[in-house]
Amino acid sequence: MTEDLKEFVHERFRRTDGKLDQLIDLFTGFAQRLGSIEQQVAALRTDFAHLREDFARIKRRLDRLDTRVERIEKRLGLVEA
């Protein structure tokens, strides 16, 4: 009877150990995927920062062009001074 109990306990530990190994593999995969997602989010943030920079540059250029057009219109008498 004691031998059967020992075998039963060992079998339960083997099953539990196997399940823990599966969970560790699963969490390792999740950790790798999460790391990949974090890198992609960081890259997106960088891309958005560059877009903001580009938009600011375009806005400055449009403002300068607007000023130049106003001066030209005034010089040509197309608008009141």
3-state secondary structure 30-75: HHHHHHHHHHHHHHHHHHHHHHHHHHHHHHHHHHHHHHHHHHHHHH
pLDDT band at 81 (very low <50, low <70, confident <90, very high): low
pTM, two decimals, is 0.60
Q: What average pLDDT does the structure give for the chain?
A: 94
20 or 2, greater pLDDT: 20
The tens digit of pLDDT for each residue in 44-63 reads 999 999 999 999 999 999 99
